[in-house]
Amino acid sequence: MTTKPSSPQVREAIDLLIINMVNIKDPTGQFLLHLQDGRVIDTKSWHGWEWTHGIGLYGIWKYYEMTGNPDLLRIIEEWFAARFAEGGTTKNINTMAVFLTLAYVYEKTGNVAYLPWLDTWAEWAMYDLPRTRYGGMQHATYLTENHQQLWDDTLMMTVLPLAKIGKLLTAYIEEAKRQFLVHIKYLFDTRTGLFYHGWTFEGCGHNFAQVHWAHLQPNDPIRMHLIDTLEAQCEGLKSLQNSSGSWHTLLDHPDSYTEASATAGFAYGILKRVRKR
């Protein structure tokens, strides 16, 4: 007997997840960030602006692509309209994450009001974002500049948005490709097939990661290198999967808790690799 949920059950669960996500609030202020300039950043409520919102918006967008449900597109566009009406926020690695979704929305709708935002933030990532030694994107956030630190998170939060914007504006793509190579050079562990989470050019980091890659031509040598890296990572992940099929939040620490979001992300990435051949 299979325990695989039916398609209606899956959709019902996703719909419920989205409803709860867009109604998240932080009434106790537990997750507020208090910045030195006096601002208070709400990192958890739906009306905030952090990397969490970037991931959530992209998930809703992918579901919209699957279903064509206009309510999903409305949720996304209303979020951007509200944030832009507030005047935006500080540019950093994590706040750039939302622009991956906006680039797709612009491609779909052609709404020219989005173009200045995409262009301005991409220009910042290209020219003004602090860099580590050898040109890596320094993982600067609301609270800290993380001096000379490379984090694997940056690939999702800033490099993928830059690559997608680059496809629309015919710029930035080569820089996005370069950032993948730089991060692989310093974060990828050829022994295990896994990534270190971070690297400091004055020391070293700790482990685990997931790699993402841009849509490149089949014969692009950088694409081939990224795929080889991905396949090595998949092999490394396979050896660390626990008996339930999930992964621990610290991959090589079986005493750490299993993480649903990481497991879903790994499964998605592996399945996408299979489907993309």
What is the pLDDT tens value at each position of the chain, 277 positions in all? Answer: 457 788 899 999 999 999 999 999 999 999 999 998 899 999 999 999 999 999 999 999 999 999 999 999 999 999 999 999 999 999 999 999 999 999 999 999 999 999 999 999 999 999 999 999 989 999 999 998 999 999 999 999 999 999 999 999 988 999 999 999 999 999 988 888 888 888 888 633 332 333 344 456 777 777 777 788 788 888 888 888 888 888 888 888 888 888 887 788 788 778 877 777 6
State the pTM of this model.
Answer: 0.79
Specify if 26 maps to a domain. yes
Dihedral angle sign, alpha carbons of residues 61, 268, 261, 149: negative
Domain assignment present for residue 71? The answer is: yes
Does residue 145 form part of some domain? Answer: no
- Tell me the two tokens of residue 200: 């400091």
Number of folded domains that form the chain: 1
**Among residues 198, 274, 199, 207, which one has the least CA distance to residue 240?**
207
Domain membership of residue 22 (yes or no) is: yes
The range of the structural domain enclosing residue 6 comes to 1-89
Rounded to the nearest 10 degrees, how much is the dihedral formed by the CA atoms of 24, 29, 30, 33? 100
Number of residues in the chain: 277
